[in-house]
Amino acid sequence: MSNTTLKRAAIAVAILGVVGVGGAVAVKQNAAVAAASAPVAAVAQAPAAAPAPVAAPAIALPDFSVIVAHNGPAVVNINVTGSTKTSYDGDGPQGRNDPYADDPFYEFFRRFQGQQRGQQRQMPTHGLGSGFIVSSDGIILTNAHVVRDANEVVVKLTDRREFRAKVLGSDPQSDVAVLKIDAKNLPVVPLAKGNDLKVGEWVLAIGSPYGLDNTVTAGVVSAKGRSLPDGNVPFIQTDVAVNPGNSGGPLFNTRGEVVGINSQIYSQTGGYQGLSFAIPIDVANKIKNQIVATGKVVHAKLGVTVQEVNQGFADSFNLATPEGALVSNVERGGPADKAGLKAGDVIRSLNGQKIVSSVDLPSMVVLSAPGEKITLDVWRQGKPVQVTATLGNANDKVAAQSADPADQASAKLRLGLALRPLNPAERQEAGLANGLLIQDAGGAAANAGVQPGDVLLSVNGRPVNSIDQVREVVGKSSKSVALLIQRGDDKIFIPVRLG
């Protein structure tokens, strides 16, 4: 027998040994009974045959055919014709040969540097997307980005009929749009009620990827309440295959109810890579109801800027765990300011719903309405505080909050910072009434990311108006401190571990 044959045989024996463990116990027990009642010579007889392996129970995979047959006719293909500004007069940095001419970041820096834009031409564009009918008289839900800049929207049904659609309204913040076609007795999809979708649950997508009508893909819910950059929606993350053209299509649960609108994918290639995101249907339905009733969408706002609570902040604020939303800025005159929220507060829950990450707060606020009263559980200077706030309208503009006057001094601190008060000209330029200018940063502060030119506003949530106040707060801290820094127009908290 060759070495290869020997190895294979050994593997086979080992596998049989594992499968038959449960049976081996029974064999030994039976042998012991036989030994007590039979002659000794009988023990030398041929061993009993090994028991047959027991097959593991089969896992039944879901059959989505009934859902597809029942709800597929209510899923539509959307064809959009629009126009966009793509061409510049001339060449060079602003010319039509510039590959970055349409990049929004390029445009921001162009304006910042005072450059003038040349003329642009309107170029026709064509786009494809998906949608689904939610009322028999022709109300359709889709994504706002599907119909952005649309001049004409054509909806195609599974029976090949086509209708020109009117965009009743769209909301870029939630990426939800509502269309209307002139038709009656249309098939509709049922919408899920409540939020009982579970991670690991099977889900199904129907849409038109790359224009391929009524394509069906399935997967599982990978996560819930996922936040994406520049988004306030608590997305449903799945591994359902979603590609360009699926946008706006429905995501179904195994009961055939729509639980979300497929909206985005994470991809380095432009195609599916296992990460797709859907807007929860309860969010989309609230947007739809506002658009149908008024033609516009009004979002609630609290009026705070928040950031993550990491371990350094938890140590600084005496928090047991690094959870919550750390308030770094409060808009003067806004709902949070009127309720008494302060920079340095850590919001732990909203209406009893726990806030684990800072992204949870805007996701909760977006589900509320302007004028709604909310209760916030806050951690302030080492103690729990409850705050009641009345949410405002996100369209209202208010000024940012500033602090109190400062005195003059200069010193080198345990933090590794060289500080001095702002002079009148600096205070006016920065729009601040107080603050200590960071002239030099070294040691622990520099390692944490503090930079010369930053303005120190508070330490561990306590506003500082002098070097002595900074010394006092730092002297009482053992592990780390949280510095509220103004950098340009932004206010940020930076945790600094002390030596």
Give the contacts of 179 (CB within 8 A, at least 6 positions apart): 78, 131, 139, 140, 141, 142, 147, 153, 155, 165, 166, 167, 168
Helices (H), 20-64: 21-37
Which is nearest to 288 in space by CA: 151, 145, 174, 435?
A: 174
Catalytic residue among 247, 349, 358, 368: 247
Q: Is 247 annotated as a binding residue?
A: yes
Q: Is 131 annotated as a binding residue?
A: no
Number of other CB atoms surrounding residue 96 within 10 Å: 15
- Nearest-angstrom CA–CA distance, 418 and 413: 7
What would you report as the CA-atom Rg of the chain, rounded to the nearest whole angstrom?
32
145 belongs to the catalytic site = yes
Q: Is 245 annotated as a binding residue?
A: yes
Which is nearest to 449 in space by CA: 326, 352, 312?
A: 312
What b/e string do you get for 150-175 counting C-beta neighbours within 10 Å, with b at 16 or more? beebebebeeeeebebebbbbbebbb
Q: Is 478 annotated as a binding residue?
A: no
Q: Which two tokens stand for residue 270?
A: 């432009």
Catalytic residue among 102, 145, 239, 477: 145
Q: Is the dihedral of CA 364, 335, 473, 438 positive or negative?
A: positive
175 belongs to the catalytic site = yes
User: What is the 8-class DSSP label of residue 100?
Assistant: T
- Nearest-angstrom CA–CA distance, 119 and 98: 14
Catalytic residue among 170, 171, 174, 175: 175
**Chain centroid to CA 129:** 22
* DSSP letters for 322-365: S-SEEEEEEBTTSHHHHHT--TT-EEEEETTEE--STTHHHHHH
Q: Is 213 annotated as a binding residue?
A: no
Residues forming the annotated binding site? 145, 175, 245-247
Residues forming the annotated binding site for substrate? 145, 175, 245-247
Catalytic residues: 145, 175, 247
